[in-house]
Amino acid sequence: MKMVVGLGNPGSEYSDTRHNVGFMAIDELARRWGISSWKKRNQALVAEYRAEEPVVLIKPQTYMNLSGIAVGELVRWYKVLPEDVIVIFDDMDVPLGRLRLRTKGGSGGHRGIESLLTHLTSGSFARVRIGIDRPPTNWQVVDYVLSRFTPEEQPLLNESIARAAEAGECIVKQGMAKAMNLYNK
């Protein structure tokens, strides 16, 4: 079984913000796979997809900084190894419209990833980082990540969400090495 987790904040006030690109990518995967039924389990929205190997889509309903609580509980509930978890999230150090895939690593200062590293038994989960760019001069990081994309940024955002969903699907079906070769360009 694979688990694909999108990081974000719950609630409509955050739905289209930079910090919620992980949720957007999960929603795109659900759309592609014809999933419309979500259930609440262990502080998260969960949808199951049956392919050659079962896949669980996860949108934690804790706030970003506590994502590891929900994900840790679900990893134990489904008995999934950290190596079978794929996490999709925003990254300010990646340019808008770009993706960066990694098999492991630190948090890079991302509090959602810090929480996952605290609540999982291993940091060797796959990461799909969606670029959101750095904040403009004089912007606070928290204000930037909770801001919405501008109309000019929307085409690049749409492209990166579609590519992140493709990358997640590629990891599930063909493995991380193949996905890294295709999407780390």
pLDDT in tens, 45-68: 999 998 788 999 999 999 999 999
Q: Which amino acid is at 123?
A: G
Residue 123 to residue 103: CA distance in whole angstroms:
9
* Residues designated as active site: 19
Q: What percent of the chain has pLDDT over 90?
A: 90
Q: Which domains does the chain have, with CATH numbers?
A: 2-183 (3.40.50.1470)
Residue 26 to residue 73: CA distance in whole angstroms:
19
Residue 10 to residue 67: CA distance in whole angstroms:
11
* Stated pTM of the model: 0.96
**Buried/exposed code over 72-104 (b: 16+ C-beta within 10 A; e: otherwise):** bbbbeebebebebbbbbbbbbebebbbbbbeee
pLDDT in tens, 166-179: 999 999 999 999 99
**Residue 185: predicted pLDDT:** 77
